[in-house]
Structure 1
Amino acid sequence: MLTFIWAQDKDGYIGKDNTMPWRLPADLQHFKKETSGHTIVMGRKTYESIGKALPNRESIVLTRDPDYSLTDAKVVHSKAEILEIAQDKDVFITGGAEIYQLFLEDADALIVTHVEATCGGDTRFPTMDWSKWQLTKRENGTRDAKNDLDFWYGWYEKMGNNRG
């Protein structure tokens, strides 16, 4: 199963200068809770913005660079390799925008943190047809001293998806 997980502001921005354009520690904890124990896939730029593989997850970095290698993550060079892995286990696509675009038609589920603010940025989530997706669960985030924006989590499933 292939699940996308990301956060976006009201205008669809997901990044600015290779980082997130907001500070929401609760969203980072949510990401950790959802992806721990699973396989995560990210592009080279996303990996380099984090600086290391994330603990308690199998990290896979997808890159076009045939000479790119890492000691703490598996490096692959094709979409087909990721789709093969996703046949046997839950795989989370974690960004960036080029990686989301590459797998847009293959996603089975989405987990989206909706930041209820206009934060701006230089990278947007790819344009997608939301009519193909059904919101199956919604959970409000808590605005507090550490999380100073309103936000909510949405779990979506692709309509007509027969996963058995």
Structure 2
Amino acid sequence: MTQQRTLPPTITAIAAVAANGVIGVDNTIPWRLDGDFARLKQLTMGGVLVMGRKTFDSIGRPLPGRDSFVVTRNPEWQALGVRTFGDVDAALDAALETGKPVWVFGGGEIYRQAWPRTTALEITHVEQSPPGDATFPEIDPAQWRMVETEDREGFSWVRYERIRRA
């Protein structure tokens, strides 16, 4: 009898990242890219989005077809159709328990706190360097390998997977 090896669940961070690492300014995205929101919807549909309260507030509502798990320091904060958590690990644990794909959805501090548990990245690399106040963690090639890429005009879609050391 052969023993099946179980793969750990995937936690994927998804973000559009400028050449200088910027992902946002004043709770907005500093660019609009043709097809990027459609791709984001297609990838995340049916999954769980783990995000910070500021990211949720910038969207203003739960995105249809996805569960919204919001991390906030304010235990009184709530929004219709949203589950709230006091820390990223609790949100990720609960998201994994759903059995649905788990997407780390921002902002910058949420990405950093989820980074040790993140196993894949879906990144839109934006060929701009705008000013901003939110940044994405550095994608170290010693820890991440590019497994898929699609070049577009002014940006590219890239999937990374964490390199697992034996």
Which of 130, 150, 156 is the matching residue for 1:152? 156
Contact persistence 2:46–2:101 (CA under 8 A): no
Residues 161 and 138 (structure 1), Cα distance of their counterparts in 2 relative to 1, 3 Å cut = farther
Structure 2: runs of 5+ lacking an equivalent: 1-9
Matching residue of 1:5: 14
Q: 1:40-55 counterparts in 2 under 5 A?
A: 40-55=49-64
Q: 1:100-139 counterparts in 2 under 5 A?
A: 100-139=111-150
The C-alpha deviation readout for 1:30-69, integer Å capped at 9, x for no partner, is 1111101111111000000111110110111111111111
* Partner amino acid, structure 2, of 1:160: R
Matching residue of 2:108: 97
Which of 82, 89, 107 is the matching residue for 1:80? 89
Shift of 1:161: 7.0
% identical equivalent positions: 37
Aligned residues: 155
TM-score normalised by structure 1 residue count: 0.88
The C-alpha deviation readout for 1:94-127, integer Å capped at 9, x for no partner, is 1000100111111010000001122222221134
Structure 1: runs of 5+ lacking an equivalent: 144-149
RMSD: 1.7
